[in-house]
Amino acid sequence: MLIFPNCKINLGLHIVNKRNDGYHNLETVFYPTPLFDAIEIVENFQTTQNRSHISFTQTGLTIPGDTHENICIKAFELIKKEYPLLPPIKMHLHKHIPTGGGLGGGSADAIAVIQLLQEKFNLHIPQKKLQELALQLGSDCPFFLLNTAALATGRGEILNPISVDLNKYAILFVNPQIQVNTGWAFHKISIQNSERESIAKTVLQPIETWKEKLHNDFEAPVFDFYPQIRSIKNHLYDNGALYASMSGSGSTVYGIFTKKTNTDFNFPANYFCKWV
């Protein structure tokens, strides 16, 4: 069975405060976007008693780190723990969504693995249980079970659908092949205690107002340390973006345009650039 998990962008991101459990409360809007990975799962009839329950292969964009730490494998192992009779599988991931770019591609892949296992092996996992399992994999994983525009609060797991529709616009993704460590980014955040208009209110206003009102708190520390990421955002605005922002803790920057433009953006050849 084959599935094509999509990524998301953050429309604004406010870090509200730090919690006693070490996580942060935040406010953001997760918005699904049509940039896809591909995952295939088939039953592995060639395995033996002494071999692993999962045979994993990967193509496409390089994923840094140890393959055994891949979140797709973690998702399988999580389900295998709950359903020990799950048979051995072969899993292949083709990576097209930039990794470590703030687009939630890894989280989307993990949820896709759970959904594939659920469907292929008729696991009948209740929705509440799916949400609990998703949260064990990552704070933004529950969003990909919903996969529609949603206001996210708490760690990002409290989701309420919101009426935001960007379908009439073109979105350009630009990733400079920089890996921004999320833990480092949270450590660098200066939490703003002043009253701010809620993102929930801002995103329901005309998109032409977003440039001045819709902000991502991660941009300040990330832009200071990686000025080339700031320059991407500026370049998108210089070339007609209605709104441009870094997604999540970076490093991907997206620009929202009235229509796809033929402008030569002159980004370096190694940058990932994709219209959706």
Q: Could you say which of 37, 109, 140, 217 is catalytic?
A: 140
What is the per-residue pLDDT for 264?
77
What is the per-residue pLDDT for 265?
87
142 in the same domain as 217: no
The string of DSSP letters for 218-231 reads THHHHHHH-HHHHH
- CATH number, residue 29: 3.30.230.10
**Is 74 a catalytic site residue?**
no
What is the per-residue pLDDT for 18?
86
For residue 183, the SS3 value is helix
12 in the same domain as 43: yes
What is the per-residue pLDDT for 192?
75
Last residue of a domain, one of 117, 133, 161: 161
Domain carrying residue 184 = 170-275
Last residue of a domain, one of 101, 126, 161: 161
What is the per-residue pLDDT for 272?
96
What is the per-residue pLDDT for 13?
97
Number of domains making up the chain: 2
141 in the same domain as 23: yes
Report, as ranges of residue numbers, the positions in the chain whose pLDDT lies below 50: 50
**Is 8 a catalytic site residue?**
yes
- CATH number, residue 174: 3.30.70.890
What is the per-residue pLDDT for 36?
98
35 in the same domain as 66: yes
Q: Could you say which of 8, 95, 217, 233 is catalytic?
A: 8
What is the per-residue pLDDT for 47?
64
190 in the same domain as 72: no
Tell me the C-alpha distance between 220 and 45, whole Å: 51
Tell me the C-alpha distance between 163 and 203, whole Å: 9
What is the per-residue pLDDT for 57?
96
Last residue of a domain, one of 161, 185, 219: 161
